[in-house]
Chain A
Amino acid sequence: MPPKSILKKTAVSADAPPSARPVNQRHLDLALHHANIIEQRKTVEQQVLDAILVLMDFPTAPNADPTRPSASDALCFCESVIPFQPADYDSLIEERNIADKCGYALCPRPKRKAPSRAKKHFIDTAKGVEIVDRKVLEVWCSDDCAKRALYVKVQLNEEPAWLRQGGYGDKIELMVDNAEEHRKGLPLRLKKGAATPPPPKEEDIAAAWAARDDALADLAIERGETPGRLSKTSKDLIQERIKERVASAPPVPPSPSYGPLLMVIEGHVPLSRSNRNESTTAEKGDDEDEDDRDWDKHLPG
């Protein structure tokens, strides 16, 4: 007697998706969808690396003025950081610092040097004396560069570029003092007199977000998507119509071909001293049951 399969014999797999397409096609689509995301991610990561390699050596002129960057440098900087997430921007600052440069990509000056190599320093600030990490001290050449650099950072999209939809938020604004030289369609904010930039008002920010959401919703409707959720890329994986799952064979109750029905666990009849004799005949196929049970000889009972 050949060994019995412990697998249930079913005419049709109950789990089969009720799809018009063959199962494998669906799996292929799904795999392809994920492969595409991974591919896009790789591309973006490479773009970010390339951008950092370029921006590490910025600005192009050694005597450039970070408050009045050249139009070409400013444009290149703004375009390069579009795929950046804030963490990528931090990496750019880190790499520039390692090369001893001010963290702001449009500044040619070296980063500030802490008064000593000690890890912590006492620093006089407007709020009094503060204890500051040496690393924090040695990021920028000046507070002005810190402001200009962070002004860019807050505009970066938190969402990884390979998951962004609709390409919104791809305009990065710079804080410059020579806006008139950057007219060519470059979004620039003119710095007003004082060193501190006027912080954007909260209502303005809220209004801007609302406007953006409206625009996105319009775009989604235009594309025929439900506003809010699905992106184009995953559309292939979603079926237009929901189909009922129809079994082609009537369900059959499990019918054990041997042994006392009550003792069966998932088709297997466990041996106990009482029913051992009746059931062993049916179990002959399983070699483990043919052991002469040496292992329990030493046990009491």
Chain B
Amino acid sequence: MADDRENYHPNLIRMWRVYRTTKEMCRDRGYQMLDEDTQISLSEFAARYGREDGEPDRSRLHFSCQPSEEMMRKYTPPPSKTEPDPKPDIGNIWVEFNSDENVGLKQLRDYMQHLINGSFYSGIMICMKPMTGMALRLLRGAAGIQEGPKGGVEVFVEQDLLVNITKHELVPKHVLLSREEKDQLLKRYRLKETQLPRIQVTDPVAKYLGLRRGQVVKIIRKSETAGRYASYRWAI
């Protein structure tokens, strides 16, 4: 990279890495994303989002994205008698970089309100430090409650996004199956979903992909002896 890192504040460099990982994460989940967004150079990042004192201005980093066609398809349940034309369980997402020193119930509620007001389907909040225990408690209970957006709110700490873990060579590729693909898989192997090995939704890769309970991921490993082989896990 041509960027001369010595000229930038360490906090700005840090934030640049967090920002890029966040964009990559949205792309890998299937949201529409331009390459130039995930590949923004440090100098350009500094020019756009740096403050005069050299620190990053988090309030200018927020962004929203829309799911791609492919993602919409993946998140659409198969048609049934009661629901012949099902809507996808996904929509626009709002990503916010919180700049408060401490994040608690107040910020989380304000954020949820913002998502509702903006008709966002779901949201990701990225904080400088872990939020308070009570805020996490609200978050845990918030999936699908009246207060929050339909698709829920996810929270990351900046530290978690400094490095994109899915780029690590030892992390196998995880691919989300659509409902239809999941049904086919279970039928082919005559399995119940409960018989599949599991992956916790709190697992770092599961968090990265925003897996929801009940979804199935295909995990593709490279093996020296077997070439590639796939296994499947059920998110709990």
Contact A99 B106, CB 8 Å, known A46-B141, A49-B138: yes
Which residue of the partner chain B has the closest CB to A117? B101
Contact A49 B141, CB 8 Å, known A91-B134, A94-B132, A98-B132: yes
Contact A53 B105, CB 8 Å, known A91-B132, A94-B132, A98-B132: yes
Check if B128 is an interface residue, CB within 8 A of chain A: no
Check if A73 is an interface residue, CB within 8 A of chain B: no
| Residues of A contacting B138 in the complex (Cβ-Cβ under 8 angstroms) | 49, 53
The residue that A49 contacts in the complex, of B100, B102, B106, B137, with Cβ under 8 A, is B137
Check if B104 is an interface residue, CB within 8 A of chain A: yes
B141 touches A98 (CB 8 A): no
Shortest distance from the beta carbon of B100 to any chain A beta carbon, whole Å = 8
A94 touches B141 (CB 8 A): no
Chain B interface residue number, banded: 10 to 19
The dominant DSSP class at the B interface is helix
| Residues of A contacting B100 in the complex (Cβ-Cβ under 8 angstroms) | 98
Shortest distance from the beta carbon of B95 to any chain A beta carbon, whole Å = 22
Chain A residues 35 to 70 lying within 8 A of chain B, measured CB to CB, are 45-46, 49, 52-53, 56
Given the complex of chains A and B, what is the CA–CA distance between A98 and B132 in angstroms? 10
Check if A225 is an interface residue, CB within 8 A of chain B: no
Contact A45 B102, CB 8 Å, known A91-B132, A94-B132, A98-B132: no
The residue that B132 contacts in the complex, of A45, A53, A95, with Cβ under 8 A, is A95
Which of A91, A97, A98, A99 has most B Cβ within 10 Å?
Answer: A98
Check if B107 is an interface residue, CB within 8 A of chain A: yes
Given the complex of chains A and B, what is the CA–CA distance between A252 and B55 in angstroms? 80
| Residues of A contacting B107 in the complex (Cβ-Cβ under 8 angstroms) | 98
| Residues of A contacting B105 in the complex (Cβ-Cβ under 8 angstroms) | 52-53, 56, 95, 98-99
Check if B103 is an interface residue, CB within 8 A of chain A: yes
Which of B105, B106, B107 has most A Cβ within 10 Å?
Answer: B105
Given the complex of chains A and B, what is the CA–CA distance between A49 and B107 in angstroms? 15
B104 touches A45 (CB 8 A): no
B133 touches A98 (CB 8 A): no
B133 touches A56 (CB 8 A): no
Given the complex of chains A and B, what is the CA–CA distance between A97 and B103 in angstroms? 11
Contact A95 B141, CB 8 Å, known A49-B134, A52-B134: no
| Residues of B contacting A45 in the complex (Cβ-Cβ under 8 angstroms) | 137
Shortest distance from the beta carbon of A206 to any chain B beta carbon, whole Å = 34
Which residue of the partner chain A has the closest CB to B147? A53
Contact A99 B104, CB 8 Å, known A52-B134, A91-B132, A94-B132: yes
1/0 per residue, CB under 8 A from B, across A185-202: the answer is 000000000000000000
Shortest distance from the beta carbon of A118 to any chain B beta carbon, whole Å = 14
Given the complex of chains A and B, what is the CA–CA distance between A94 and B134 in angstroms? 9
B137 touches A95 (CB 8 A): no
| Residues of B contacting A46 in the complex (Cβ-Cβ under 8 angstroms) | 141
Given the complex of chains A and B, what is the CA–CA distance between A98 and B129 in angstroms? 13
| Residues of A contacting B106 in the complex (Cβ-Cβ under 8 angstroms) | 56, 95, 98-99
1/0 per residue, CB under 8 A from B, across A55-97: the answer is 0100000000000000000000000000000000001001101
Shortest distance from the beta carbon of A41 to any chain B beta carbon, whole Å = 12
The residue that B133 contacts in the complex, of A53, A91, A97, A99, with Cβ under 8 A, is A91
Which residue of the partner chain A has the closest CB to B105? A95
Given the complex of chains A and B, what is the CA–CA distance between A98 and B104 in angstroms? 7
Shortest distance from the beta carbon of A100 to any chain B beta carbon, whole Å = 9
Shortest distance from the beta carbon of B61 to any chain A beta carbon, whole Å = 22
Given the complex of chains A and B, what is the CA–CA distance between A93 and B133 in angstroms? 12
Chain A residues 99 to 125 lying within 8 A of chain B, measured CB to CB, are 99
- Using CB atoms and an 8 Å cutoff, list the residues of chain B in contact with chain A: 100, 102-107, 109, 132-135, 137-138, 141
A sample of 27 inter-chain contacts (CB < 8 A) reads: A45-B137, A46-B141, A49-B138, A49-B141, A52-B105, A53-B105, A53-B138, A56-B106, A91-B132, A91-B134, A94-B104, A94-B132, A94-B134, A95-B104, A95-B105, A95-B134, A95-B135, A97-B102, A98-B100, A98-B102, A98-B103, A98-B104, A98-B105, A98-B106, A98-B107, A98-B132, A99-B104
